[in-house]
């Protein structure tokens, strides 16, 4: 008989505790025994106030048997039957552990473990390989009290951060963000036609000012220009740190223009930036760069706000293969209430503001010339994921983005076809399959808004691996409305 | 001389070409996975068609007209 050992902070749950009561119920089903016997297949590490949901142990035992390549599992949680609120989690996200550690209310680990406190759980996740961690999209436990981040857990958290070469600073109660990094040298690549803003000045002047405000010691700003440039480029390069690079002749291709800038850059870190952004606070690059200290991170995005300071971009989600922007139009306060103002692993971030290592960008072939207008940023992020690198968004790095003030926001059917031909359907591991998707054709982006589920979801374990499968669009209809740019 | 970039002496053109080739290499894996997906889908479809064909053959074999026809053919064969 399979035995699942269940432990809380000081070993098996004390008699009479909610955890012990819920486990006894499971014993009655004669499936699992809380035992100190020898046939322990795995340990559920959680707090003694947690309750195991009906049927969850049976499903867990099944997953343990059918997914031998995974050593650690975690699922979703519910917070009491009265509130009926659930926390749906993404596939394994190291940055989520660092920024919201008390979210880790349970963990299932193969083998026998003698304690299950938050400290123990953090330590397990610090030592195990990322590809051996599976998320089960299924509410496994009911939590009445959030885990406490005591001194021991805080130390474990700091050690977890150190293994990723980053440090943490408190942000809100039990919430953290990475300490900004001093950036020594950076190349900024800004493709621009020097389009004028409402005041008649080229928008790119504000983008240049946003970069110069960062006071990075070795800064070079490469304006990639062509015949479409509406002013003499020398008018934009008065500061010695700014220079113009001519793009290849021919029709406009964003990807080719950015690649030209990356190839001309001389620093190991490259920031790809749209020419229609505006500064909010000077630490934005340092906050983004803090993630690149972690060698597993390949690209970092920022929180981009519309001029009315509502959300335009806080990372992307793919839904039915189509990239969407979640939380569009939400205020910063609303993002905070959803913890969406914390750093998150994402499937993609926009190239309107994307920080990466020059070497990584070049290794994956830069931006694809096959996608001259849209999808090129998602395509790049997919390539980075395939290369084993993570993509994160850092919402404390903020800019105003006059989105598409400098180009028409249209997604052409042929671009969608090309994107689908390259990638097919890639299921987003960081977007829970149980989130409600209204599927309103006119408001498709709401499918990415992390809307509460309307019915229980019992999914199979998933990892962070990116897989392509044939998409139905390749077999028929191709025309899609534009929801992301 | 063709306009194939490999004939260029311009380092900018050649570096862009290297990037484009790396780009193709980076997505090669996804193409392979999609082909596997198509093959698996076709295999399923073939298995479904096989099952339907077998069911139809069995149904046909049970049809009285077919059985009478077979008996007639056997008699004719004997003569």
Q: Are strands A175-178 and A168-172 parallel, antiparallel or unpaired?
A: antiparallel
Give the pair of three-digit tokens for residue A130: 């990322």
Chain A interface, best mutation among B13, B14, B26, B40, by max A CB count within 10 A = B26
Q: Which residues in B lie closer than 8 A to residue A387 (C-beta atoms)?
A: 26
Q: Do A469 and B33 touch (CB under 8 A)?
A: yes
Contact B27 A424 (CB under 8 A): no
Cβ-Cβ pairs closer than 8 A, A with B, add up to: 68
Question: What residues in chain B have their Cβ under 8 A from chain A's Cβ atoms?
Answer: 12, 15-16, 19-27, 29-31, 33-34, 37-38, 41
What would be the CATH architecture of the domain defined by A185-426?
A: Alpha-Beta Complex (3.90)
Look at residue A33 in the predicted model and tell me its pLDDT. 47
B19: nearest CB among A259, A422, A469 = A259
- Cβ–Cβ below 8 Å for A364 and B37: no
- With tokens 């900018």, the residue in question is B12
DSSP one-letter code for B33: H
Asked if A470's CB is within 8 angstroms of B41's CB, the reply is: yes
Residues of A in contact with B27 (CB under 8 A): 368, 379, 382-383, 386, 422-423
The model's pTM is 0.89
- pLDDT in the model for residue A54: 83
Q: Which residue of B has its CA nearest to A363?
A: B22
What residues of A are in contact with residue B16 (Cβ under 8 Å)? 248, 256, 259-260, 263
* Residue of B18, B30, B45 to mutate when probing chain A, most A C-beta within 10 A: B30
Using one digit for the tens of pLDDT, what is the confidence trace for B11-59? 988 999 999 999 999 999 999 999 998 899 899 999 999 999 999 999 9
- Written as six digits, the tokens of A182 are 């001093």
Which segments of chain A have a pLDDT < 70?
1-5, 7-13, 22-40, 80-84, 404-409, 474-485
**Phi, psi (5° rounding) for residue A478?**
-125, -20
**Cα distance between residue A45 and residue A195, in whole Å:** 57
Q: For chain A, give every domain's residue range.
A: 3-159, 185-426
Q: Does A424 touch chain B (CB under 8 A)?
A: yes
Distance from CA of B56 to the nearest CA of A (A): 29
Interchain proximity A470–B34, CB inside 8 Å: yes
Report the residue of chain A nearest B36, measured CA to CA. A469
Q: Using a CB-CB distance cutoff of 8 angstroms, which residues of chain A are in contact with residue B25?
A: 365
Q: Between chains, do B21 and A365 touch, taking CB under 8 Å as contact?
A: yes
Among B19, B29, B41, select the one facing A386 at the smallest CB separation.
Answer: B29
Exposure string for A211-237, b = 16+ CB within 10 A, e = fewer: bbebebeebbbbbbbbeebebebeebb
- CA gap A53, A151 in Å, rounded: 30
* Nearest C-alpha in A relative to B33: A468
For residue A258, CA distances in Å to A143, A372, A377 come to: 48, 10, 11
Q: Residue A328 region, left (φ>0) first, then alpha (ψ -120 to 50), else beta? A: beta
Task: Specify which residues A190 forms β-bridges with.
Answer: A223
With contact defined as beta carbons under 8 Å apart, do B26 and A383 qualify?
yes
Which of A358, A368, A417 is most worth mutating to test chain B (most B CB atoms within 10 A of its CB)? Answer: A368
Q: Smallest CA–CA separation between B14 and chain A, in Å?
A: 11
The reported pLDDT for the residue numbered A481 is: 40
A259/B16 CB distance under 8 A: yes
CA distance A363 to chain B (A): 7
Rounded to the nearest 10 degrees, the angle between the axes of helix A118-127 and helix A151-163 is 10
SS3 content of chain B, % helix, strand, coil (to 5): 90, 0, 10
pLDDT of residue A39: 62
Closest to B22 (Cβ–Cβ): which among A365, A422, A469? A365
The closest alpha carbon to A178, from A300, A87, A326, belongs to: A300
d(CA A84, CA A76): 13
Question: Using alpha carbons only, how large is chain B's radius of gyration in Å?
Answer: 30
B8 three-class SS: coil
Long-range (24+ apart) CB contacts under 8 A made by A470-475 are: A470/A424, A470/A425, A470/B34, A470/B37, A470/B38, A470/B41, A471/A321, A471/A420, A471/A424, A471/A425, A472/A425, A473/A321, A473/A416, A473/A417, A473/A420, A474/A420, A474/A421, A474/A424
Which among A6, A9, A4, A3 has a CA at the least distance from the CA of A115?
A9
pLDDT of res. A375: 95
Strands A468-469, A425-426: pairing kind = antiparallel
Question: What residue spans define the domains of chain B?
Answer: 5-78
For residues A378 and A349, what is the distance between their CA atoms, to the nearest angstrom?
7
Residues of B in contact with A370 (CB under 8 A): 23
The C-alpha atoms of residue A189 and residue A358 are separated, in whole angstroms, by: 11
Enter the tokens of residue A268: 């190991």
Judged by CB atoms closer than 8 Å, whether chains meet at A386 and B26 is answered as yes
Candidates B16, B25, B34; nearest CB to A469: B34
Judge whether A417 is closer than 8 Å to chain B, CB to CB: no
Q: Can you tell me the distance from the alpha carbon of A351 to that of A367, in angstroms, rounded to the nearest whole number?
A: 10
Alpha-carbon gap: B55 to the closest alpha carbon of chain A (Å): 29
B14: nearest CA partner in chain A: A263
Closest by Cα among A5, A27, A22, A1 to A107: A5
User: Could you give phi then psi for residue A310, rounded to 5 degrees?
Assistant: -100, 165
Distance from CA of B49 to the nearest CA of A (A): 20
A368 and B CB contact within 8 Å: yes
Gap between the Cα atoms of A88 and A453, Å rounded: 9
């Amino acid at each position: 008989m399979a035995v699942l050992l269940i432990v809380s902070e000081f070993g098996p749950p004390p008699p009479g505790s909610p955890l012990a009561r819920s486990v006894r119920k499971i014993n009655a089903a004669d499936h699992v025994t809380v035992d100190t016997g020898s046939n322990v297949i795995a340990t559920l590490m959680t707090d003694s106030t947690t309750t195991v949901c009906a049927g969850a142990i049976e499903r867990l035992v099944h997953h343990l048997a059918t997914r031998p390549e995974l050593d650690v599992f975690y699922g979703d949680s519910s917070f009491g039957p009265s509130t009926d609120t659930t926390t749906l989690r993404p596939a394994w996200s190291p940055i989520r552990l660092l920024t919201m550690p008390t979210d880790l209310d349970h963990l299932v680990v193969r083998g026998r473990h003698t304690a299950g406190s938050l400290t123990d759980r953090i330590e397990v996740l610090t030592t195990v390989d990322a590809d051996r961690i599976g998320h089960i999209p299924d509410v496994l436990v009911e939590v009445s009290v959030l885990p406490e981040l005591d001194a021991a857990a805080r130390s474990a958290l700091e050690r977890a951060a150190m293994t990723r070469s980053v440090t943490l600073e408190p942000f809100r109660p039990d919430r953290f963000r990475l300490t900004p990094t001093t950036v020594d040298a950076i190349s900024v690549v800004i493709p621009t036609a020097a389009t004028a803003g409402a005041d008649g000045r080229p928008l790119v002047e504000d983008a240049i000012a946003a970069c110069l405000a960062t006071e990075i010691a070795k800064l070079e700003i490469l304006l990639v220009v062509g015949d479409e440039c509406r002013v003499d480029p020398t008018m934009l390069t008065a500061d010695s740190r700014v220079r113009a690079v001519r793009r290849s002749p021919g029709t406009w291709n964003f990807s080719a223009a950015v690649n030209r800038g990356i190839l001309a850059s001389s620093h190991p870190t490259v920031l790809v930036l749209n020419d229609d952004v505006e500064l909010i606070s000077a630490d934005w690059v340092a906050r983004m760069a803090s993630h690149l200290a972690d060698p597993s991170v390949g690209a970092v995005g920022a929180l981009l706000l519309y001029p009315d300071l509502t959300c335009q971009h806080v990372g992307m989600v793919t839904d039915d293969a189509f990239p969407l922007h979640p939380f569009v139009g939400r205020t910063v306060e609303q993002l905070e209430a959803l913890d969406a103002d914390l750093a998150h692993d994402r499937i993609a971030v926009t190239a309107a503001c994307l920080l990466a290592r020059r070497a990584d960008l070049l290794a994956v072939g830069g931006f694809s010339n096959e996608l001259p207008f849209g999808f090129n940023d998602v395509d790049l992020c997919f390539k980075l994921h395939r290369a084993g690198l993570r993509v994160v968004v850092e919402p404390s790095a903020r800019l105003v983005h006059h989105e598409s003030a400098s180009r028409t926001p249209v997604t052409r059917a042929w671009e969608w076809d090309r994107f689908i031909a390259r990638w097919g359907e890639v299921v987003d591991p960081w977007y829970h399959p149980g989130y409600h998707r209204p599927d309103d054709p006119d408001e498709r982006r709401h499918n990415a808004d992390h809307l509460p589920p309307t019915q229980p979801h019992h999914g199979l374990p998933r990892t962070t691996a990116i897989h392509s499968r044939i998409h139905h669009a390749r077999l028929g209809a191709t025309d899609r409305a534009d929801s992301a740019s | 001389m063709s306009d194939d970039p490999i004939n260029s002496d311009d380092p900018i053109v050649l570096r862009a070409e290297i990037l484009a080739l790396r780009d193709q290499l980076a997505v090669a894996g996804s193409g392979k996975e999609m082909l596997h997906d198509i093959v698996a889908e076709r295999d399923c479809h073939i298995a479904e068609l096989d099952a339907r064909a077998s069911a139809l053959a069995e149904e046909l074999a049970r049809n009285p007209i077919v059985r009478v026809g077979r008996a007639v053919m056997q008699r004719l064969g004997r003569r």
